[in-house]
């Protein structure tokens, strides 16, 4: 039977490309989203992939979401923690809400969902957890102390959980994308974006499909010897 893959934030942007690529590789995919109903409906119409609305930063909401996915599709054996937000501003202007929203959505979400799927993975002796970090978690970024802290936290989370899962057939890896052409990046002012692209050795933004390819590689049953790694997909911008 096909393995069930859950992609958080899986209905648009990088997550949409990941959901589609996993479906094309034969997984039964559940795509989570936060509240953009219009985009989620268009996505299901286009792909036939089921969507599940819940807030990844809220443990009880995740618990309900996982229950529903398990009942409708089966237990999750591939988890892609992709949902993320930005609330950019320098620390002297940042309020507690902007700090907490980003930590909850980008980092606490990885705990919430991993905690809820790990028991099944331990029982069956197989699991793949892939966490989407960021180049800005590796290198830092002006105006992003909240986002860089959350994404950097993902890299530590990945290495610690990889050690816990290693004896149980569960691999845990991260992908650190560089600048990828999605709504998140299109929100950056054009003049700033031009300067960013000038610093990328391949001289362009990445495509969501290029991140999805990395996820499929790490999700594969054949990738069981790769764990605790971070795959940087950034056009050569940061060679970490």
What is the CB neighbour count within 10 angstroms for residue 203?
Answer: 10
| Residue 183 near ligand NDP by CB under 6 A | yes
| Residue 112 near ligand NDP by CB under 6 A | no
Nearest-angstrom CA–CA distance, 130 and 165: 13
| Residue 180 near ligand NDP by CB under 6 A | yes
User: Which entry of 27, 33, 52, 147 is annotated as an active-site residue?
Assistant: 147
Q: In this chain, which stretch among 78-86, 90-98, 155-163, 192-200 interacts with ligand NDP, using CB under 6 A?
A: 78-86
- Give whole-number Cα distances, 170 to 41, 130, 154, 162, 179, in Å: 32, 11, 17, 7, 29
| Residue 110 near ligand NDP by CB under 6 A | no
- Beta strands across the sheet bearing 28-33: 50-53, 28-33, 4-7, 76-81, 127-132, 170-177, 230-233
Position among 103, 184, 196, 233 found at the interface with ligand NDP (CB under 6 A) = 184
| Residue 12 near ligand NDP by CB under 6 A | yes
Position among 28, 84, 117, 173 found at the interface with ligand NDP (CB under 6 A) = 84
Q: Residue 139 — left, alpha, or beta (φ > 0 → left; ψ -120 to 50 → alpha)?
A: alpha
Q: In this chain, which stretch among 10-18, 66-74, 92-100, 165-173 interacts with ligand NDP, using CB under 6 A?
A: 10-18
Strand ranges (E), the chain: 4-7, 28-33, 50-53, 76-81, 127-132, 170-177, 230-233
Position among 28, 47, 105, 173 found at the interface with ligand NDP (CB under 6 A) = 105
- HSE value, Cβ hemisphere, 13 Å, CA-based, for 68: 15
Map residues 23-62 to x or -, x wherever contact with ligand NDP holds by CB under 6 A: ---------xxxxx--x---------------xxx-----
Active site residue 147: yes
Nearest-angstrom CA–CA distance, 180 and 206: 4
User: Any idea which residues carry the catalytic annotation?
Assistant: 147
Residues in contact with ligand NDP by CB under 6 A are 8-9, 11-15, 32-36, 39, 55-57, 82-85, 105, 132, 134, 177, 179-180, 182-185
């Amino acid at each position: 039977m096909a393995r069930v893959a859950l992609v958080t934030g899986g209905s648009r942007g990088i997550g949409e490309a990941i959901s589609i690529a996993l479906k094309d590789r034969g997984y039964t995919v559940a795509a989570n989203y936060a509240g953009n109903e219009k985009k989620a409906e268009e996505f299901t119409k286009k792909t036939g992939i089921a969507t599940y609305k819940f807030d990844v930063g809220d443990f009880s909401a995740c618990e309900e979401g996982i229950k529903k996915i398990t009942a409708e599709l089966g237990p999750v054996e591939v988890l892609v923690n992709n949902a993320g937000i930005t609330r950019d501003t320098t620390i002297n202007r940042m309020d507690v809400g902007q700090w907490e929203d980003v930590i909850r959505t980008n980092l606490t979400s990885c705990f919430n969902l991993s905690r809820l799927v790990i028991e099944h993975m331990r029982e069956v002796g197989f699991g793949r957890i892939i966490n989407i970090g960021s180049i800005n978690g590796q290198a830092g970024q002006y105006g992003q102390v909240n986002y860089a802290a959350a994404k950097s936290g993902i890299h530590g989370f990945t290495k610690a959980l990889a050690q816990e899962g290693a004896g149980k057939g569960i691999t845990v890896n991260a992908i650190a994308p560089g600048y990828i052409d999605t709504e998140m990046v299109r929100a950056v002012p054009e003049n700033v974006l031009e300067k960013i692209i000038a610093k990328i050795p391949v001289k362009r933004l990445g495509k969501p499909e290029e991140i999805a390819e990395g996820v499929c590689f790490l999700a594969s049953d054949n990738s069981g010897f790769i764990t605790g790694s971070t795959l940087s997909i950034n056009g050569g911008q940061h060679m970490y």
